[in-house]
Chains A and B, each alone.
Chain A
Amino acid sequence: MPAGTLYRGREGMWSWVAHRVTGVLIFFFLLVHVLDTALVRVSPHAYDSTIQTYKTPLVNLMEYALTAAILFHALNGLRVVAVDFWSKGPKYQKQMLWSVVGVWVVLMAGAFYPILQHTLLTWFGK
């Protein structure tokens, strides 16, 4: 086998796997999210009591995880666009993946307090 040309088991494959997994997760969340928002058409009380669930520590943490999934899918999606439309995209696909991971780590670190502030303030007060 020619060395270094295998797609399998390398950055290309794992980013593809992660893109699929995050995409499927986001799709199922979206179905639920439209349903919960549709409760504004039922009554303010029905909506507010359901939204209370979104403010519990566990679901708050899941919102952070959802943000992580969406952010990876978004950044890697831009990389896929670059691979397909930029003439040097395929050549730099690995560098672009590590850039995606780097930006993702920085943004997720920055989003930690803003997203989880509700839980943190509930637990540790102001």
Chain B
Amino acid sequence: MSTDTTDLELVASSQAHTGKGLGTGNPADAFVIEPPRVRTKKTPRRTRTNFEMLAWLFMRLSGIVLVVLILGHLIIMLTLDGGVSKINFAFVAGRWASPFWQGWDLLMLWLAMLHGANGMRTVINDYAEKDSTRMWLKGLMGAATVFTVLLGTLVIFTFDPNI
């Protein structure tokens, strides 16, 4: 069979970044970002979960809730009744006497830490190019996150105003 396709260069769409795949003749094609869903030989047949999609969704949903929780927290703690002047042990004891504010702070702690940890994971993945550096940074950040969430939860649940 003769090769009649000499002047037609066949390039897979996964190589669109080479500028040869789209064939519009526009040099800007060279800057087209490769579609992330294109499967290559290295792509696992089946990804186990939708983790990245769920993480993306979590950032948006938790973000909306955190806007309310954190702005409310800032208004109460930093602006009302003399701003930061009023904050002391007795003030904290007064607030945590109410299950409402305990629940507010607990939800804020968990959502903010998970939202922040996932954001840091994205940042580390973006800038730490060496595999071992990336793993170490994520391990360290993950350990700090688990420690902080558990410590904060313990403090809210075991708080004793008569200490």
Contacts and interface: CB of A to CB of B under 8 A. Distances in A.
Contacts of A71: 71
Q: Is the interface of A mostly helix, strand, loop or mixed?
A: helix
Interface string A58-97: 0010010001001100100110110011000000000000
A84 B70 CA distance: 22
B84 A78 contact: no
A75 to B, nearest CB: 8
Interface string B70-87: 110010001110111101
A74 B67 contact: yes
A94 to B, nearest CB: 20
Contact of A114 (B83, B87, B109, B117): B83
Tell me which of B28, B78, B116, B148 has the highest count of chain A C-beta atoms within 10 A of its own C-beta: B78
B61 to A, nearest CB: 9
B113 interface: yes
Interface stretch (B9-17, B40-48, B131-139, B151-159): B151-159
A10 interface: no
A84 B84 contact: no
A111 interface: yes
A4 interface: no
B97 interface: no
A48 B123 contact: no
Given A37-B152, A40-B92, A55-B85, A1 B27 contact: yes
B148 A31 contact: yes
Given A40-B159, A44-B89, A117-B82, A34 B109 contact: yes
A74 B163 contact: no
A81 B63 contact: yes
Nearest to B87: A51
A43 B116 contact: no
A30 B111 CA distance: 12
A85 B60 contact: yes
A54 B84 contact: yes
Contacts of A31: 144, 148
A1 B74 contact: no
Given A54-B84, A74-B67, A115-B78, A44 B163 contact: yes
B31 interface: yes
Contact of B60 (A43, A47, A81): A81
Interface of A: 1-2, 20, 23-24, 26-27, 30-31, 34-35, 37-38, 40-41, 43-44, 47-48, 51, 54-55, 60, 63, 67, 70-71, 74, 77-78, 80-81, 84-85, 111, 114-118, 121
5 contacts: A24-B123, A31-B148, A34-B152, A40-B155, A115-B83
